[in-house]
Amino acid sequence: MISEFEIIRRYFTRRARTALLGVGDDCALIRPRAGTTLAVSTDMLLPGRHFFPDADPEKLGHKALAVNLSDLAAMGADPRWALLAIALPRANEKWIAAFAKGLFRLARRSGTELIGGDTTRGPLAISITAIGEVPPKLALRRDAARAGDDIWLSGATGEAALALAHLKGRVKLRGRARDACLHRLHAPEPRVSLGRSLRGIARSAIDVSDGLLADLGHIAKASGVAAELRWEALPRAEAIASCPDKALAKECLLAGGDDYELVFTAPRSVRSGIAAAGKKAGVSVTAIGTVVAGGPRVRLRDAEGRTVSTPRAGFDHFA
């Protein structure tokens, strides 16, 4: 039976390139580049709550890091380092190797270095801490939206939640729509390059992990403003647009979660800059509404200005 230290050595140790000291000592040593501050975030993934117990380990390795990089992206930070705390019920080397493969592929692609962690036997649990760099004044905070800002969304929401509905038997997806949705659920792409391009242009940002309305609601609350969304302006992926169950499609679009898109606000004066940032990052960006003065809330209106009913917002991991 492979030991804890052998697992770390074999699967989670790569030579440090940017850290002063990586895996192997009591602590890693890192130094942010001049003029930057560290942006730090942790996310935990548990089977049954965040992924299926029999999930493909390679995709899981990708997703575990991706959801953390998404938080860095939402801050406008450049990913630099990560720590991995993992509990494994048994030392299944095939599983660990595939998990490490998925994790390190995204790590390399995003410029993230694994510099430490913790490995123990126990019920499967994965926690990654991601560390990035951002010039402190340019960090995209939740509390900086202002009345008059446009509200923007990268990509489109709803496909991951639709995939989940498919897997739970609530809807039957087929062909390309099914593949696209399952890919969004199992291998989300963190919008790192967009987040970076938005610094100095966007005013506030958050990543959509718990549903568009819920996460935009966090910006509204932190900034003390209201958000008005235009129902017709919301981008719809093919699978959402063609879903026969309209109520389900609407729920996924607005409150699905697991999207890992960025929702952000910016003054009207920088519209062309936002479009250029999207182009540079290779991701679509759509103006979906406006920030207005008023109590913290998110409202959805149709083209005639009527309020559109919204599903109960947000995924509560504690429910």
With CB under 5 A as the contact rule, which of the stretches 88-96, 110-118, 192-200, 298-306 interacts with Mg ion?
A: 110-118
25 near ligand ADP, judged by CB under 6 A = yes
**Per-residue contact track with ligand ADP, 231 to 270, x per CB under 6 A?**
----------------------------------------
Report if residue 118 touches ligand ADP, rule: CB under 6 A.
yes
Q: Which is nearer to ligand ADP, 86 or 227 (CB)?
A: 86
Q: Is 155 in a helix, a strand, or coil?
A: coil
Question: Smaller CB distance to ligand ADP: residue 8 or 163?
Answer: 8
Q: Does 19 bind ligand ADP (CB under 6 A)?
A: no
Distance in Å, CB of 115 to ligand ADP, minimum:
7
Q: Please list, residue by residue across 280-303, b when 16 or more beta carbons sit within 10 angstroms of its beta carbon and e when fewer do.
A: ebebebbbbbbbeeeeeebbbeee
SS3 319: coil
Least distance to Mg ion from the beta carbon of 80, Å? 22
Taking the C-alpha atoms of residue 270 and residue 292, their distance in angstroms, rounded to an integer, is 18
- From the list ligand ADP, Mg ion, none, partner contacted by residue 119 (C-beta under 5 to 8 A by kind): ligand ADP
Radius of gyration for the chain, computed over Cα atoms and rounded to the nearest angstrom: 20
Among 4, 118, 179, 238, binds Mg ion (CB under 5 A): 118
CA atoms within 13 A on the CB side of 295: 1
Q: Which of 229, 216, 225, 220 is nearest to 305 (CA)?
A: 229
- CA 252 → CA 99, 163, 237, 258, 280, distances in Å? 28, 10, 11, 10, 28
* Residue 26 interacting with ligand ADP (CB under 6 A): yes
Q: How far is CA 26 from CA 81, 100, 291, in A?
A: 16, 22, 47
Contact (CB, 8 A) for 166 and 240: no
Q: Does residue 8 belong to the site contacting ligand ADP (CB under 6 A)?
A: yes
Nearest distance from residue 254's CB to ligand ADP, in Å?
Answer: 37
- Count of beta carbons in the 10 Å neighbourhood of residue 235: 18
- Beta carbon of residue 128, minimum distance to ligand ADP (angstroms, whole number): 9
Structure token pair of residue 140 = 């995209």
By the rule CB under 5 A, 4 interacts with Mg ion: no
To the nearest whole angstrom, how small is the minimum distance from the Cβ of residue 2 to ligand ADP? 13
User: Which entry of ligand ADP, Mg ion, none binds 232, CB below 5 to 8 A by partner kind?
Assistant: none
User: Of 313, 286, 307, which is closest to residue 161 (Cα–Cα)?
Assistant: 313
Cβ proximity to ligand ADP, 25 vs 54, nearer residue:
25
CB nearer Mg ion, residue 118 or residue 143: 118
Q: How many helices (H) and strands (E) does the chain have?
A: 10, 10
Query: What is the closest distance, in whole angstroms, from the C-beta atom of residue 123 to ligand ADP in the complex?
Result: 16
179 binds, among ligand ADP, Mg ion, none (CB under 5 to 8 A by kind): none
Residues of this chain that interact with ligand ADP (CB under 6 A) are 8, 12, 23-26, 84, 86, 114, 116-119
What are the residues binding Mg ion (CB under 5 A)? 118
